[in-house]
Amino acid sequence: MILSLHIKNIALISSLDIELSEGLNVLSGETGAGKSIIIDSLNFVLGDRADRSLIRHGEDSASVQVVFSGKLSPEAEEVFASVGIEKDEVVIIKRTMTTAGRSECRVNGTLINLSLLREIVTLLVDIHSQHEHQTLLTEQNHIKILDRYSRDIAELKERFRIGLGVYKAALLELESFPPEDERERQADILKFQMDEINRVAVEEGEEEQLIREREKVYNSQKIISSLSSAVNGLKGEDSFLGAMPALHTAIKDIRAVSGYIPALEELAERLESAKIEVDDIAFALSDELENISLDPYEAERVEKRIDEVRSIKKRFGKTVAAIKEFYNKTEAEYQRLIGAGERTEELKKQIAKEGGALVRLARLLHAKREVAAANFEDAIINNLSELGMPNITFKAEINFPNTDAEILSSLTDDGGDTVRFLISPNKGEPLKSLVKIASGGEMSRFMLGLKNITAELDGIGTLVFDEIDTGISGNIAKVVTQKLYDIAKARQVIAVTHLPQLASMADTHYLITKSEQGGKTLTFVNLLDNENSLKEIMRLAGSAEGSAVGLESARELKEWANRYKSK
């Protein structure tokens, strides 16, 4: 249920807070006082198009915040969990818009897009006005309304949807196989690609290593010359001027006089270590020299290998990991194609089996809907008769295919049925689709009758009715009032009304007024106590202010309402 509504800078509203309660909340006031602004604000925060013309004149932005009780239906909790919205004691939805055209939606502080906002709020609140009956005005929704009325259908429908998913998946897989000759051609291509990858067998870092090797081969003469010179310079094999002979002589000369200067022995030891290191370096350089190839075909071999590696990378993946991933996918598709003959036979058997099961479930769903439709029709007719439409004829028309093939070709998540509501408001008139009814009053009463039937089935905690009583008066107004109160026993109801009967039934009554302050016209909402509620009921009934007869009439209405509530 809605706990509070905060509106800022919307039309005539500068800043407004409304605390709402359980049961029947009634909002009334003079025409033009701003009742529609409150409903427009609620529609905006709950996902309607951001209409910048609603922003209060002289302001750059507007915002609306609605706070719901944190007690959610299982469906709502599932949506919250799936998108990572924190579940709290309350659900706070805030939406802002600016004159520059920017709009932002947040749920419990989490920024969300408009489509997700609409998905969330449809599980929390249902708003109905004389011109906004989108659920009923879309025939595709009629089957869902009928199914909600029958508690026996939900489990069967879930079984059907699971089976339909398996059936469709098998059909898609079967359709994914090309004809046999095309399969063979594709398999040959895939086999050639796998053979190429296996033949070249690119290793991690191989291209970089080959590039380094190519540079070494192209510069082999320079490397040999430089390393030979270095080895000779260290070993002194061609002369006695090499580093090794020089170190040997130096060590010998130092030790010859170290008896006179003891510290020289340490220096001789350090030179001995240097001699060992130089000797090791000279040995390593000699090894490198032996590994330098002067094979005239080595450069050609390296170039050829580089070309192979680069060709594979260009065709199948820039990295070894990407090539491996391509190979695995190719192999999987190759195995799928060469096993297609056996798999297609399995799929055909599965499709026939699942299709048969779906047809049986669809027929069973149809039978249950036929039973549900009869009961639903009676309930609607009874409710509408009480709401001043005694000559109403209503039918939930169910169309179902004749043959198994027709059933399979027309299946949806709801089964094989199509449902549409037909209505004839007056005797002698033919049944017509409900969506073509011109009278807003008739549509309003139909919606009210429907909600009275399904209030406990739809799981939505708050229903909003915006002047749903338009065109209703007298005894019918009392019946409409009773129906709204009956809904409010199980759900929070917020009703904008001009009916004194409905105002008298309010559990909480709010008066919407407008006044001029500081040269600006502002809208206000006040919670009425019993005395002021009686005065507003008098005004709605057309009584003059201060009329004793009018006040007595208002008290009678209030007593009538209290008697009905106490039943």
CA-based torsion, 125, 128, 132, 137: positive or negative = positive
Q: Which amino acid is at 421?
A: F
Domain assignment present for 99: yes
Q: What is the DSSP letter of 514?
A: E
Domain assignment present for 238: no
Could you give the angle at which helices 142-149 and 440-454 cross, rounded to 10 degrees?
40
Euclidean distance between CA atoms 399 and 2, whole angstroms: 39
Do the Cβ atoms of 334 and 190 come closer than 8 Å? yes
* CATH (domain of 74): 3.40.50.300
Domain assignment present for 555: no
State the residue range of the domain holding 5.
Answer: 1-124+460-524
Domain assignment present for 48: yes
User: Half-sphere exposure of residue 402, counting CA atoms within 13 Å on the CB side?
Assistant: 0
Euclidean distance between CA atoms 90 and 493, whole angstroms: 19
pLDDT, residue 131, reads 45
**Paired tokens of 540:** 């709605």
Can you give the pTM of this predicted structure? 0.61
Per-residue pLDDT of the chain (567 residues; tens, 9 = 90+): 899 999 999 988 888 899 999 999 999 988 777 788 888 888 888 888 888 888 988 899 999 999 998 777 777 778 888 878 877 788 899 999 999 888 899 988 888 888 888 888 877 887 775 444 556 677 888 898 898 888 789 889 999 999 999 999 999 999 999 998 899 999 999 999 999 999 999 999 998 989 888 888 887 778 888 888 888 888 876 555 678 888 888 888 888 888 888 888 899 899 999 989 988 998 888 888 887 766 767 888 888 999 999 999 999 999 999 999 999 999 999 999 999 989 999 999 999 999 999 999 999 999 999 999 999 999 888 888 887 788 889 999 999 999 999 999 999 999 999 999 998 888 888 888 887 764 556 676 777 777 777 656 666 788 888 877 666 677 778 888 888 898 888 889 999 888 899 999 999 999 998 888 777 778 888 999 999 999 999 998 888 888 899 999 999 999 999 999 998
Do the Cβ atoms of 476 and 444 come closer than 8 Å? no
Domain assignment present for 73: yes
Domain assignment present for 302: no
Three-state secondary-structure class, residue 18: strand
Domain assignment present for 56: yes
Q: What is the DSSP letter of 132?
A: B
pLDDT, residue 470, reads 66
pLDDT, residue 74, reads 73
Please give the tally of structural domains in the chain.
1
Domain assignment present for 453: no
pLDDT, residue 438, reads 45
